[in-house]
Structure 1
Amino acid sequence: MTVKEQDAAARTPFAFIDVTVHTFTTWGLFSAAAVIYWGVELSSQSGPPSLTVFISSLTLVTSLALVWVGSPLAWLLGRILQNVSRKWTHLAAFWALGTAASVPILWLGSAFTPYENTSQAVFWILGAAVLSGLCSAAGRAIAFAARRRREKRALIPEPEDVLWDDATRVR
């Protein structure tokens, strides 16, 4: 194996499909956690179900927009780390990115929570930021697994393709 081939093998790709998988996975995980949180929080305060649906819907739409706005940062971080082969380094970096990027958004969003102007706001923001970072790291881990599956699948031809290749060779 040449040096160029070794460099290519050691690189960790982060193409558009990886960014897409990472972004949708991060959004899905965060959305599930947020909907569960708001459902429990508002039902414990005996709020009306329509308020739970409204806040959950608002969270879903807002988080999708924010995750897509942050996806260029994820792409940039993936490109920076493409020569790093250790997966735990990627996961830690994406956890840090998700945590750091969510703090200002959560701080602004805390004005619309029951914790506004209380000492609990700091704990709420930090807890949600850590959760956002975990969702981002989990999204990266799932993007790794999806890429591995795609690469493995490319090596195994589909039975229909094999039959088609055999049929075209007979002629």
Structure 2
Amino acid sequence: MNGKLTGKKIAILATDGFEQAELMEPKKNLEREGATITVLSVKTTPKEIKGWDKTDWGNKVKVDALVGSAKADEFDALVLPGGQINPDRLRIDKDAVHFIKEFVETGKPTAAICHGPWTLIEAGVVKGKTMTSWPSVHTDLLNAGAKWVDKDVVVDGQFITSRNPGDIPAFSREIVNALAA
């Protein structure tokens, strides 16, 4: 452990159907740097969410708190994993969208990977930003007023975005850089 993020608190917002690698790998990488991770979700029971591992259901992750009771100012960064199912479910949940919007208003690092930017679009916070995503989300980002580019990781102000599980090393690195600065 390097300890660059000791004392930093990071929220990961997800629900059933998160792309397993896109939650588990950044979580592991950030914890390795000393960060404390809180998994937020919209589910009340059971207190765990199930990942999607490429082509089928994957592992479960413990939920630490409900997003509806979380306070944005308690966290130093927000991570939004992708997968198709997870962000699609989150973007129709009023508590999740409210938390994302409230968090973005803090100006703190906000990271989304794959289909994760769908939730940022729903929160109305992407206009004028340069971002990347899973290729099928690019039109949604353009329609919401963002500029889309095809790169492994894009940093625009507080926003850190990546395309897919293959980009996780660059994605995690930029989250660490943003929080260590």
Structure 1 length normalisation: TM-score?
Answer: 0.22
Could you say which structure has the higher strand fraction? Answer: 2
Relative contact order (C-alpha < 8 Å, sep 6+): which is higher? Answer: 1
Larger helix fraction of residues: 1
TM-score of the two chains, using structure 2 as the length reference = 0.21
Which has the higher Rg, Structure 1 or Structure 2? Answer: 1
